[in-house]
Amino acid sequence: MKHDRFHGRVKSVRQPCAWPGCAEPGEFRAPGPRPAGFDGPGDYRWFCLDHIRQFNAGYDFFAGMSMAEILDAQHPVAGWDRQARAFNPTAGHGEAPRWADFTDPLEAIGAHMRSRVSGLRADGVVFTPEERRALDVLGLGLDADRAALRRRYSQLVRRYHPDRNGGDRSFEARLQGVVEAYQLLRRAAAFA
């Protein structure tokens, strides 16, 4: 694999260099007049290699900051005083569990997260993403039981099997998907 010797070059961009009077292609991205913030990544300008070097030589990240703001930004633990979504008590998933209802903290966290999973059946059984895809292949809902699984499998095998279709082998791929989905689900904890 051949690497480009200039880190940050984006050759697929078809923009001219933003430097006034330059006709070279702009292959290097630089911050634009609107900085990144809550409403998106901000604006960018595109420069050729010579002009991105000039831009970088004159760029000052700390422009407009007071001395205290500069020292805060350079501090080794800068930003850790703010609460991000991933580091808040609920990890971005609603209210925290009631710890008094559980003897083990891991049980409390597990119960809380199971309540958030979209593949949760009314009786508390959780389906994995593969099991949910297998249910979709068979056309079954989350509330299906073992008898419904077996009935649906039998219906689909009769529909797609070449012996039932006069030797027509055009449904073999569907039949294979049905068989694989059934084999996965019949061993799943939800149908035990």
**Predicted local distance difference test score (pLDDT) of residue 1:** 40
Q: pTM to 2 decimals?
A: 0.41
Degrees to nearest 5, angle at CA 21 with 16 and 27 = 25
Q: What is the dihedral of CA 154, 157, 160, 162, to 10 degrees?
A: -130
Alpha-carbon distance 122 to 138, whole Å?
20
Question: Coil, helix or strand for 140?
Answer: coil
Select from 90, 126, 83 the least CA-distant residue to 98. 90
Any domain includes 1? no
Any domain includes 113? yes
State both tokens at 8: 């940050």
Any domain includes 9? no
> How many separate domains does the chain show?
3
Stretch 68-85: mean pLDDT: 74
pLDDT exceeds 60 at position 182: yes
Domain of 110, in residue numbers: 94-124
Q: Which residues pair with 44 in a beta bridge?
A: 31
Select from 175, 129, 128 the least CA-distant residue to 153. 175
Per-residue pLDDT tens over the stretch 4-51: 666 778 777 778 898 999 988 888 888 887 776 666 677 888 899 899
Stretch 106-131: mean pLDDT: 70
Alpha-carbon distance 101 to 119, whole Å?
24
Is the alpha carbon torsion for 128, 131, 133, 135 positive or negative? negative
pLDDT exceeds 80 at position 159: yes
Stretch 81-106: mean pLDDT: 62
Mean pLDDT, the chain, as a whole number?
Answer: 79
Residues 103 and 153 in one domain: no
